[in-house]
Amino acid sequence: MLRNVRDLVDAENGGQTFFSAWRKAPTQSTAAGIWFDLSMSPGNPVPQYYAAAPNISVALSQSTDGGIPHGTNVAGSGMRKYLRTFGVMTPTAAAAPMQMILCDYLLYYPFIDMSVTDYQPLTTAATLPRLKDGKGLQIMAVEVAGQTGAGNPRFNITYTNSAGVSGRTTPLVACNTQLSNGTLITSQPTDPARAATGPFIPLQAGDTGVRSIDGITFMTPDVGLISLVIVEPIENISVRGIDAPIERTPVTDYADLPIIEDDAYLGLICCPNGSLAGANITGWINTTWN
């Protein structure tokens, strides 16, 4: 565990560090202000598409699925791994300004049919592989087969919270009208009756995390499929322009060192200022453990 700057310096001088560069080149057309899941875009690391049996949970891990490399497991050595730096840059004007969040993707429920208006129970065959109590975990709804978005379909989710209480229900959220796969479908909906939600679906009042998802109910049907993904937001960064790299050093920026769990599957979500089709988004992370 890093307790002070001396520990940090010693850890880095001791080689307990890992550097990883990443590059994403989305092919999907995105829109200004609508969050997008870059884990579904080509580049490095290779994309993943939430492809598995419908409505049954699947866990994601670095050792089996990839993601942005962050070094090997360290808990077995009695250590803990931290995010030291997180940087990004892009020469693509349409991308900036752009907010990005580095997430640990833990569990997803694939191919949920948006045309079904009955309650759809979801099966938690695989449980959270990390952060098992669910504290701080959020749900994002990722479009994996194009909707029409007509009528701003609304839905809510029932889930088990981080206190282990099942039957918790999210507020009713609405879908945006974006058609591209990878869209976080509840961000910036045009339904005036529903507030914009950002990347994550709001939880029931008082809840601070999600342990599993129990089911989903669409109020109006649409074509299309979504995957519900449970993630841990780790760190955010803002690309302000195309003429300078942006680097986050949590220890000096926030007096904080976000923890990277062993075998975490790291990916990025972003909120661009326009279409990212053909964009080049390149960055890096640096981890340290002690």
Partner 1 sequence: MDSLIAALSAGQTYRSDWNKNALPTTAQVAGQWYDLSTGAGNPMMNSIIGSSANLAHQAITETTSITAASGALGGSIAGTVFTDTTHGSGRFTVGMALSGTGVVAGTYITSLGTGTGANAGGTYNVNISQTVTSQTITGTAVAGGLPHGGDVGALNKHLLNASAFSSATTTAPAIMMLYDMLACYTITSVTTTGAQSFTGQAAWARYADGSGVRAFLVPSVVMGAGSPTVQLSYTNSASVAGRLTPAAPSLPVINTTAPVGSIAYAGTGVGKYGPFLPMMAGDAGIKSVQSINFSATMTSGVMNLVICKPLAYMPITTVGVASERDFVNMLPSMPRIYDGACLHWAMYAGAATPVNSSFMGHIDTAWA
Site of interaction with partner 1 (CB under 8 A): 5, 8-9, 12-17, 19, 21, 23, 25, 42-46, 62-66, 69, 72-74, 76-77, 79, 87, 89-91, 242-245, 247, 249, 251-252, 280, 282, 284, 286
- Closer residue to partner 1 in complex, CB, 210/257: 257
3-state class (DSSP) for residue 216: strand
Please state the closest distance from residue 2 (CB atom) to partner 1, in A: 11
For residues 45 and 149, which CB has a smaller minimum distance to partner 1 in the complex?
45
**Which DSSP state fits 110?**
E
Q: Which two tokens stand for residue 57?
A: 């949970």
Q: Which residues pair with 18 in a beta bridge?
A: 287
- Tell me whether residue 45 or residue 209 sits nearer to partner 1 (CB atom): 45
The pair of structure tokens assigned to 228 is: 């519900």
Rounded to a whole number of angstroms, the minimum distance from the CB of residue 65 to partner 1 is 8
Among residues 16 and 227, whose Cβ is nearest to partner 1?
A: 16
Residue located via tokens 């550097």: 19
Q: Which one, 31 or 40, has the nearer CB to partner 1?
A: 40
**Shortest reach from residue 115's CB to partner 1, in Å:** 35
Strand intervals (E) in the chain:
17-24, 36-37, 43-44, 58-59, 81-89, 98-113, 120-121, 138-145, 154-161, 168-169, 173-174, 210-218, 225-239, 246-248, 259-260, 266-271, 281-289
Q: How far is the CB of 91 from partner 1 (least distance, A)?
A: 6
Coil, helix or strand at residue 186: coil
Q: How far is the CB of 287 from partner 1 (least distance, A)?
A: 12
Task: List the one residue out of 219, 214, 201 whose CA is nearest residue 116.
Answer: 219
Of residues 95 and 112, the one with the C-beta less far from partner 1: 95
User: Among residues 114, 108, 109, which one has the least CA distance to residue 225?
Assistant: 114
Least Å distance, CB 125 to partner 1, is: 21
**Residues 280, 38: Cα–Cα separation, whole Å:** 12
